[in-house]
With several copies, the nearest count.
Chain A
Amino acid sequence: MPLTLQQTRAWLERSAQVLSENQQHLTDLDAAIGDADHGSNMDRGFCKILAALAAGAPADIGALLKLAAMTLIGSVGGAAGPLYGTLFLRMAAEAADKAELADAEVVGMFRSGLLGLQDRGNAGPGAKTMVDAWLPAVDALQAGVAAGQELASAAHGMRLAAEAGMRATIPMQATKGRASYLGERSIGHQDPGATSTFLILRALDEVLRSP
Chain B
Amino acid sequence: MKKLINQVEDFVRESLEGMAAAHPELVRVHLDPNYVVRADAPVVGKVALVSGGGSGHEPMHAGFVGRGMLDAACPGEVFTSPTPDQLLEATRAVHGGAGVLNIVKNYSGDVMNFEMAAELAAAEGISVANILIDDDVAVRDSLYTQGRRGVGTTVLAEKICGAAAERGYDLDRLAALCRKTNAAGRSMGMALTSCTVPARGSPTFDLGADEMEIGIGIHGEPGRQRLPLPAADAVSEMLATAILQDPAYSRVAREWDRSASAWQDIELVDEPLKAGDTVLAFVNSMGGTPLAELYVVYRKLAEVCRKHRVEIVRSWVGPYITSLEMQGVSITLLRLDDELTGLWDDPVLTPALRWGA
Query: Hey, which bits of chain A sit against chain B, CB under 8 A?
Result: 24, 27-28, 31-37, 39-41, 44, 73-83, 120-121, 173, 175-178, 180-183, 185
Q: CA of A183 to CA of B200 in the docked complex: distance in angstroms?
A: 24
Residues of B with C-beta under 8 A to A31? 197, 200, 204-205
- Minimum C-beta distance from A183 to chain B (A): 6
- Specify which of A32, A74, A175, A182 is in contact with B83 (CB 8 Å cutoff): A74
Residues of B with C-beta under 8 A to A175? 144-146
Tell which of B79, B144, B149, B205 has the most Cβ of chain A within 10 Å.
B79
In the complex, residue of chain B having the shortest beta-carbon distance to the beta carbon of A120: B112
In the complex, residue of chain B having the shortest beta-carbon distance to the beta carbon of A27: B200
Residues of A with C-beta under 8 A to B80? 37, 40-41, 76-78
- Minimum C-beta distance from B233 to chain A (A): 22
Residues of A with C-beta under 8 A to B115? 82
Residue B116 CB within 8 A of the other chain: yes
A78-B79, A181-B217 given; 18 more Cβ-contact pairs under 8 Å: A27-B197, A27-B199, A35-B219, A73-B83, A73-B84, A74-B83, A74-B85, A76-B80, A82-B84, A82-B116, A83-B112, A173-B144, A178-B146, A181-B139, A181-B146, A183-B144, A183-B224, A185-B222
In the complex, residue of chain A having the shortest beta-carbon distance to the beta carbon of B88: A74
| B145:A180 contact, CB within 8 angstroms | yes
Residues of B with C-beta under 8 A to A181? 138-139, 145-146, 149, 215, 217, 221, 224
Residue B66 CB within 8 A of the other chain: no
Q: Which 3 A-B pairs have the closest CB atoms?
A: A35-B219, A82-B112, A79-B109
Using A35-B197, A73-B85 as known contacts, say yes or no to A182 and B221 having CB atoms under 8 A apart: yes
What are the interface flags for B211-246 relative to A under an 8 Å C-beta threshold, 1 for contact and 0 otherwise? 000010101111011000000000000000000000
Q: CA of A165 to CA of B58 in the docked complex: distance in angstroms?
A: 38
State the main secondary structure of chain A at its contact with B.
helix
Residues of A with C-beta under 8 A to B109? 77-82, 178
- What are 30 A-B pairs at a CB distance below 8 A? A24-B200, A27-B199, A28-B200, A33-B221, A33-B222, A35-B197, A35-B204, A35-B220, A35-B221, A36-B197, A37-B77, A40-B199, A73-B84, A74-B33, A74-B83, A74-B85, A77-B86, A78-B79, A78-B80, A78-B109, A79-B108, A79-B109, A81-B81, A82-B116, A176-B146, A178-B107, A178-B217, A180-B144, A181-B217, A181-B224
- Minimum C-beta distance from A133 to chain B (A): 17
| A182:B224 contact, CB within 8 angstroms | yes
Residue B113 CB within 8 A of the other chain: yes
Query: Hey, which bits of chain B sit against chain A, CB under 8 A?
Result: 33, 54, 76-86, 107-109, 112-113, 115-116, 138-139, 144-146, 149, 197, 199-200, 204-205, 215, 217, 219-222, 224-225
